[in-house]
Structure 1
Amino acid sequence: MAAAETKVAEPARASSQDRTKRADAVRNIEAIVAAATRLLAVDPDASINDIAKAAHVGRVTLYGHFDSRATLIREVVDRAIAQTDEALASLDLDGDPREALGRLLEATWHLTHRFGAVVVAASQALPPEQIRRAHDEPAARVRALLERGRDAGELRRDMPIDWQISVIQAILHGASAAVHRGEITAEEAPALVRDTILAAVAA
């Protein structure tokens, strides 16, 4: 009878150990991805050693979850895309198209600044089609507002809309870089981005 009770108890201990290992693995993965996002946002050449150190894990642990730097960057980019889509999807883009575009630009700048040079790191490590995904949804929202503004006569129609989107993306990334260089503050940037872009596209 005692032997039978021992056999029943052993799987319970093993199950508890498995749950602990899984919880540890999840914590490590989250720490690694958070550290990679933070470091790559500032330095697209951040190494695996730098990321592991910032995540407080060893290289062996990091490679146990991500078999290469490119795999880790892909996870960072996928999460950045998901978080960007979620944040922008919650914005109120109804009403006056210029005001709605201003709100979208400010929100997009915060996300662009948060993820910073991750796009540069991704362009060095991932195929071009994956890089395009990072811009597709935000660009679609901007395009829709530009088209609404054009139809309403509030935004200029004398230049290609694709060019306007390219200029907007360049200003967003440029503002983030300017903050990192200390030329402007993070508090000044959203209004500067909004006003500069609206001045450029206003009818």
Structure 2
Amino acid sequence: MAHSATRPARRADARQNAEKIVRAAVTCLGRSADASMNDIAREAGVGRVTLYGHFPSREALVEAALIRLLAQGDEVLEAVDLTGDPRDGLRALMESGWLLIAQAASVLQAAQASLPPGRVHELHAKPEQRVHDLIRRGQTEGVFRADVPAELLASVLHHVLHGAATDVATGRLDAADAARFVAEMALAVCVVPPARTGN
């Protein structure tokens, strides 16, 4: 009985250690995209053996950190009301998305440097689908321009968000202005120009 009782305890300890390691990875990579496995182990308060027992490579741990941030971000984006005017929904989505990108910029940088080509894009599939769906609805309702494919519009918005994050990081854009700017850029890109209204 004692032996079987220790097994669940060990599994619980393992889960707690894995959770601590992922949290530490988010913290360390958030400070520096170049954070090492040693940095993360120290932050988590675990040894290298424990760290590598859960995450056999830095790439695996970077991916776990990005997945964690995307899941947290998805909870925020799920709360954004996209049922009304698509223009209002797009503004709210871009402003919320900007805050998430700003918080995750360093982790995203680490992921882009560490993970295989296409993997970061694959992990962003759900938030990107949310943008695509909103744009398509706006096009159907005649609010967003339909002369440009929804996929291309969504791609432009993706670059606007990440470009703003880069400009803030390099000091070319004030972080206090970024949310407003990315929202205005998104509307400028997607909304039917005034001269075309009613066409």
What is the distance in 2 between the residues matched to 1:17 and 1:128? 39
Shift in alpha-carbon separation, 1:80–1:133, aligned structure 2, 3 A = farther
Identity of aligned residues (%): 41
**2:102 pairs with 104, 113, 121, which one?**
113
What is the distance in 2 between the residues matched to 1:24 and 1:93? 41
- 1:164 is displaced (CA, Å) by 1.6
- 1:172 is displaced (CA, Å) by 0.8
Q: Gaps (5+ residues) in structure 1? A: 1-7
More divergent stretch after superposition (82-91 vs 97-106): 82-91
Matched position secondary structure for 2:35: coil
Report the counterpart of residue 135 of structure 2 in structure 1. 146
User: Are positions 1:62 and 2:51 aligned together?
Assistant: yes
Structure 1 residue runs of 4+, over 6 Å off? none
Shift in alpha-carbon separation, 1:69–1:104, aligned structure 2, 3 A = same
Output one character per residue of 1:24-70: Cα deviation in whole Å (capped at 9) or x when no partner: 54443223212212332453332112222333333233223212112
Matched position secondary structure for 1:150: helix
Shift in alpha-carbon separation, 1:27–1:184, aligned structure 2, 3 A = farther
After superposition, residues 123-134 of structure 1 pair within 5 angstroms as: 123-134=112-123
Matched to 1:111, the amino acid is L
Shift in alpha-carbon separation, 1:18–1:147, aligned structure 2, 3 A = closer
User: Are positions 1:135 and 2:124 aligned together?
Assistant: yes
Shift in alpha-carbon separation, 1:186–1:17, aligned structure 2, 3 A = farther
What is the distance in 1 between the residues matched to 2:29 and 2:149? 33
**2:67 pairs with 71, 78, 82, which one?**
78
Matched position secondary structure for 1:63: helix
What is the distance in 1 between the residues matched to 2:162 and 2:33? 14
Structure having the higher Rg: 1
TM-score by length of 2: 0.80
Q: Gaps (5+ residues) in structure 2? A: 193-199
What is the distance in 2 between the residues matched to 1:84 and 1:55? 22
Report the counterpart of residue 87 of structure 1 in structure 2. 76
Give the conservation status (yes or no) of the 8 Å contact 1:42–1:116: no
Matched to 2:87, the amino acid is R
Matched position secondary structure for 1:60: helix
